[in-house]
Structure 1
Amino acid sequence: MLIPERAADAVVLLADPDAQAANPYYWYRSRPAWEAVAEALLRAPERRVAEAARSVRLDPADLACHARLTAAVRAHLGSDHGKSSDAIREAVERVHVEARLGYHRGSELPRRVRLTDRPPPRVPAERRAVPDRPHVNVVIPFRDDCRDRGRLKNALACLAALADQSLDARRYSVTVVESDVEPRWRESIEPHVDEYLFAWHDGPFNKAWTVNIGAMRTVHPAPLICVLDADALVDREFLARNLARFDEPGVGSLTPLRSVLYLDAESSAWALGRRCVDGSRSVPIEGTRGFLVYRSPGVCVWIRRGVFESIHGLDERYEGWGGEDMELLLRLTARSAFHQFDDPQLHLHHRVEAGILDDYGNTPNCGLTALTWEPTEPVGAPDRYAARQERLRRKG
């Protein structure tokens, strides 16, 4: 384990808002371990260690500050300052064991062309011919009610990457389900997908229900369902590679990733430009900076339709951010032959709403019990919130 680098990483993870945005739940629970590292550095007898740590906390994105802190810690440990060195090593070991978030600095990052803005992603102007019998249906749940339209920009990049696939276009279909009080971005999205569905809901985003609508109500059902977040940026072989994995016996479902790289804002713009504007087959992570969510339960999962139907899809009791992805993986693991691979996965940057967690670091769904989803009503019913919609209509 590279203790000096990991010590500097811990200070960045503690101080950078983008680290917290990658996964607020894991960030909250990893924070005590990072704070122990920061405290050990600030108490180091060599003044330059503490000064370098303060510099990183003031500007966590500055690679030069990170390098100075790494060098200062390495020199400090090399001098063997007894208790101080032991405290740093023990604190870093705690991070290594407990933290679910990591820091990524691409080796080519200093030589990358810095960007201030890029053109919008090149989404094909015309829709593909709708396949008669697709092998896989990609379902993308979506909502963007933010002023900066960050999620919409990411969704268009996601669609552009899906349109640029090595897999024969006749073998897959793409369905976007927008859940909101109005079909806010229908005109922007519909021309670029095989199917656009709208699901009215004025409450916290219900990803589980939105996915179930796309999977169960599609007019292009396929033997395989790929649930993909609208912020995912996939490579050109993404569909072909994962489709081929189901040719192996004993694969009922899979996730193609172990960790997800949540790009910072600048790396996100650079990656979008490389993949969707320049037309690169993939984005070299050596040119990116971001935060790794280890063993991430979200972003992408592939499921045989029979398995999806047998487990009643995603648990629609989960409303608001957090929990539904992990719950789904638990049921897939318990009730199907579930496989996990280690493909690189990029997540595009977007603003994260405040108030996702309560004062104790819990998600809105912390009271739900996993593995208890036994619906009595049809799964993916578009009228799930129809009664509330009607009440609001009458009041208005």
Structure 2
Amino acid sequence: MSLVQPSHPQTLASAVADSLVVAADPQAPESSIFYWERGRPYTQAVVDAVRDVDDAEVRRLAEALLADTRNPQAYAALHRALTALAAAPPSDTVAALFAHGWRAESNCRLGSHLGALYGTRPVRCWASFEELRALPPGPPPGDPARAQILVVVPFRDRTPDRTRLRNLLACLASLRDQSAPRDEYRVLVVEADTEPRSQQVIEPYADDYLWVHKDGLFNKSWAVNVGVVNAPCDPEVVCILDADVLADRDFVARNARRFNRPGTMGHLSYRDMWCLDAESTAHAIEQRLAQGSAQVDPDRLRAFVLRRPPGCCVWVRTSAFLRIDGMDERFEGWGGEDNDFSYRMDTNSAFDSYDDPLLHMYHPSSALLRADGELINAHIPALTWRAETPIGDPKRFVDGDAPASYSGEVRLATQVMTGITE
């Protein structure tokens, strides 16, 4: 028995079945092209190994799952067969299969979740922000002077179908439905764009809305800094939250209580992020918001699981945030800013991480790469941010005087790394 490799049959079966899904599903690279690409040699080895295994039934069931990775019945049938196979004395090909499966599970940062009830009750709504506007906005905020918690949501959506705006409204509605006292926290949306494109849609659902002028690439770091230093309250704690997060009902209270522990200066609320597909996103919105459930049933969800990603949901003391000059405003586009902020928080503060559920609603990938395949912000050395002027200046980009961090060609990461040009 190995101390570093599991022997439990169900664990080994999951490692193989999940690796097959990650290898074959076209949505896997869209969830994180970087994680998928780096794990591809390991997941492809599992595909090759299962096709060589000396068990005809397992080969047949594996091909069925590879052909239909969204089918819970196909997944369950293969998982049962693999579990039985792992419990018996292994042949050489079976031993090789499970070795490759665990190697993939140990080296790939992209996992898979396919709930047993996924697809059994399709939801035919919540595809657009217009449908979300039918939901009541929830209880209004209290006196800003009483708010000890500020949730900052940086935002921009120029997509034709306004998917990100749909996600933002769902995020804001979930933040209005919280167990925490309503006057203890405020939610501020910072829209960084050339115009207040979504103001009329956002304002009924956000406690506070701030538009700041920004052309060119989206600058999340600057938008967050703007929100923190220009908020209408003086918070003890700041939550930096992506607009695509659907929060459970205890989200605010649970994370706020963690600051009662001595020495706590900040934390990531999660270890793994569940990137839902479009159907699961619709179901999650239906259950959490339309039906008013405190949380979403994972058995009805399908997701690709990003392991230990930075950002998306970060809680920090305001003093710790300001001590490191906030987020690095040199980062533009998507890529690297969350890593850098987490590194600097971890270096300068007592920075924890927890294992809460984190549901990320679907939207087409927006990760950017340079034409040479490098991250758009690869030229910015990590851990080097020292603000030369006050952070979060709302007028920084008004006159176009602020130099662009990178002015070369950029393309969607999925296009660069898969060779797609259209």
TM-score (norm: length of structure 2): 0.85
Structure 2 vs 1, CA of residues 99 and 7 (structure 1 numbering), >3 Å: closer, same or farther? same
Q: CA deviation at 1:362?
A: 4.1
Which structure exhibits the higher relative contact order, with contacts defined as CA atoms closer than 8 Å and separated by 6 or more residues? 1
Pick from 108, 122, 130: which aligns with 1:114? 122
How far apart are the structure 1 equivalents of 2:275 and 2:45? 24
Secondary structure at 1:379 match in 2: coil
2-structure distance, mates of 1:275, 1:299 = 19
CA distance in 2: counterparts of 1:145 and 1:178, whole angstroms? 11
Deviates more, 1:382-391 or 1:169-178: 382-391
Partner Cα distance (2:95, 2:139) in 1: 62
Task: Please give the alpha-carbon distance, in whole angstroms, between the structure 2 residues aligned to 1:81 and 1:180.
Answer: 59
Aligned to 1:363: 375
* 2:37 paired with 1:28: yes
The reply to whether residue 194 of structure 1 matches residue 207 of structure 2 is yes
Change (3 A) 1:77 1:305: closer
Give the one of 187, 190, 210 matched to 1:174: 187
Q: Which moved more, 1:149-158 or 1:83-92?
A: 83-92
| Closer, same or farther: CA 361–38 of 1 in aligned 2, 3 Å | farther
Give CA deviations for 1:128-157 in whole Å, capped at 9, x if unaligned. Answer: 344223101110011111111111111001
| AA partner of residue 32 (structure 2) | N
1:59 aligns with 2:68: yes
Q: Which amino acid aligns with 1:367?
A: H
What's the CA shift string for 1:133-183, capped at 9, x where partnerless? 310111001111111111111100111011111212111111101112221
Matching residue within 102, 106, 123 for 1:93: 102
1:291 to 301, 304, 323: 304
Q: CA deviation at 1:315?
A: 1.1
Q: Determine the structure 1 residue equivalent to 2:289.
A: 276
Where do residues 68-107 of structure 1 align in structure 2 (5 Å cutoff)?
Answer: 68-74=77-83, 82-107=91-116
For each residue in 1:85-112, what CA deviation from the matched residue of structure 2 results, as whole angstroms up to 9, or x when unmatched? 23212211211221111111234447x5
Amino acid corresponding to residue 50 of structure 2 in structure 1: L
Q: Which deviates more, 191-200 or 245-254?
A: 191-200
CA separation of 1:23 and 1:341: change in aligned 2, threshold 3 A: same
Q: Sequence identity, in percent?
A: 38
Name the count of aligned residue pairs: 389
Write the letter of the residue equivalent to 2:93: S
Secondary structure of the 1:388 match is coil
Q: Which of the residues 140, 149, 154 maps onto 1:141?
A: 154
Q: Check conservation: 1:254, 1:340, Cα contact below 8 A.
A: yes
- Say which of 379, 397, 400 aligns to 1:385: 397
Matches within 5 A, 1:248-263: 248-263=261-276
Of the three residues 327, 338, 360, the one matched with 1:325 is 338
> What is the CA–CA distance in structure 1 between the aligned matches of 2:146 and 2:158, rounded to whole Å?
34
Q: Which amino acid aligns with 2:125?
A: D
The unaligned stretches of length 5 or more in structure 2 are 1-5, 404-422
Task: Tell me the CA shift for residue 299 of structure 1.
Answer: 1.4
What residue in structure 1 maps to residue 318 of structure 2? 305
C-alpha change, 1:390 and 1:290, in structure 2 (3 Å) is closer
Distance, in Å, in 2 between the alignment partners of 1:43 and 1:202 is 54
> Post-superposition shift, 1:245?
1.3
Per-residue CA shift, 1:328-384, capped at 9, x if unaligned?
A: 11111111111211111111111224x734578642123322111112122112233
| Alpha carbons of structure 1 residues 237 and 129: separation in structure 2 relative to 1, 3 Å | same
Task: Rate the CA distance shift 1:277–1:358 in 2: closer, same or farther, 3 A.
Answer: same
Following superposition, the deviation at residue 127 of structure 1 comes to: 4.3
Task: State the shift of 1:215 in Å.
Answer: 0.8
Find the aligned partners of 2:136 and 2:65 in 1 and give their Cα distance: 39
What residue number does 1:207 align with? Answer: 220
Q: Deviations over 1:251-310 (max 9, x none)?
A: 011121111111111111111011111111111223222121122212111111111111
Q: Distance in 2 between matches of 1:113 and 1:72?
A: 27
1:183-229 deviation per Cα after TM superposition (whole angstroms, max 9, x unaligned): 11111001222221112222222111111111112222311111111
Counterpart selection for 1:373 from 375, 378, 385: 385
Secondary structure class of the residue paired with 1:329: helix
Worse overlay, 276-285 or 64-73: 64-73
Q: 2:322 is matched by which residue type in structure 1?
A: E
Distance 1:77 1:170, change over 3 A: closer
Amino acid aligned to 2:378: C
**3-state SS in 1 of match to 2:286:** helix
Q: CA separation of 1:389/1:153 partners in 2, compared to 1, >3 Å: closer, same or farther?
A: farther
1:230 shift after superposition: 0.5
Contact 1:158–1:233 (8 Å) recurs in 2? yes
Hey, what's the Cα distance between the residues in 1 that align with 2:210 and 2:323?
23
- 1:345 alignment counterpart: 358
Deviation at 1:56, TM superposition (A): 2.7
In structure 1, C-alpha distance between the alignment counterparts of 2:323 and 2:264, rounded to whole Å: 15
> Quick check: 1:245 aligned with 2:258?
yes
